[in-house]
Amino acid sequence: MEYSVSILIPTFNRGHLIKRAINSSLEQTFNCEIIVCDHGSNDETYEICKSYGEKINYIRRENDYGLHFCEIESLLAAKSDLIHFCFDDDWMHPKYIENSVNLFNEKIGMVYCNYELVNLEEELINEKGWDNPKDIFERLNFFSGGIRVFQGLISPSCALLRKSDALSCMYLTNNLLSNNSYSGVGPDWLMTAMPIFKYKNCIHINEKLVRFGFHRSSITVDAQKDFSSVKAKNFRAAYAGARLYLLISIIIKKLKIESVYFFLEETYRGIRSILKKNN
């Protein structure tokens, strides 16, 4: 099967960074649809994005509805089978998409790679080149992949996955098991955790094919700079709620509780119908 890919770049007031993310998307050796979704920027983001013309699909909203809804809007706009989130402070190896797509098939739920963290406050304009990628990867099944995702986060910025799977997770701003939400934290973890349990295999490319910008205005850095703060606790609680949601969902699916519940419900309806007829 031939796959198409959309690169999604949600952004807000990152005019000083957005150009690198867009350029790294345009420089991919695999032809991709590029969607930049801008919710409420009041800096130079608009002018920079419009300068690319038809090379990108630029979506702008005057109001800032937050990262989570910016991500959802970019997902809904995507026309491709597969999607990759390249956040505005991240960028990719030119062959990242090509190498990932080549490993994809109907039995693979996700392909993800390692990342390199770059301190943007020390190295704002990072011109460091990329090495040629090597063919180093491993297959993760239900058990090996499950252990990995419950130990930590596989960032969507490292992953290529199906649009349909991403959408099913991103609509959970928070779930019924948890009262906690924080700037899309939780659903972004589910987006990369869920495919490991849904498909036969996922693939981990054991190379650093994406770079993450580390800086003080990063949502992740900002949320965790004071471990005991309310913000940090909400951040951790949002991930904990997502893990609990996924764990219970897996148990329900593996034990076929849904089928048992349906059988009991149908049996109850049948008994009620018989009793009504006898009366």
> pLDDT tens for residues 183-236?
445 677 788 888 888 898 999 999 999 998 876 665 555 444 555 666 556 666
Query: Does the pLDDT at position 68 exceed 60?
Result: yes
**pLDDT at position 187:** 72
Mean of the per-residue pLDDT values of the chain = 82
Could you tell me which of 269, 241, 247 has the C-alpha nearest to residue 182? 241
pLDDT in tens, 115-139: 998 887 765 555 678 888 887 888 8
Model pLDDT for residues 133-183, shown as the tens digit of each residue: 887 888 887 667 767 777 777 888 999 999 999 988 876 644 444 455 444
**pLDDT value at residue 127:** 62
Give the pLDDT confidence score for residue 234 in this predicted structure: 63
- For the entire predicted model, the pTM comes to 0.80
Q: Output the pLDDT for position 153.
A: 75
pLDDT of residue 45: 95
Higher pLDDT, 51 or 213: 51
Q: Among 201, 204, 174, which Cα is nearest to 187's?
A: 174
Q: Which of 42-46, 83-87, 139-143 has the lowest mean pLDDT?
A: 139-143
Q: What's phi and psi for 30, nearest 5 deg?
A: -105, 130
Strands 57-61 and 33-39: parallel
The helix (run of H) or strand (run of E) holding residue 159 is strand 159-162
Superfamily name with CATH number, domain 5-278: Spore Coat Polysaccharide Biosynthesis Protein SpsA; Chain A (3.90.550.10)
Q: How many CB atoms lie under 10 A from the CB of residue 39?
A: 22
| Cβ-proximal residues to 268 (8 Å cutoff; 6+ apart), any chain | none
What would the mean pLDDT of 28-47 be, rounded to a whole number? Answer: 96
The residue ranking higher by pLDDT, 176 or 279, is 279
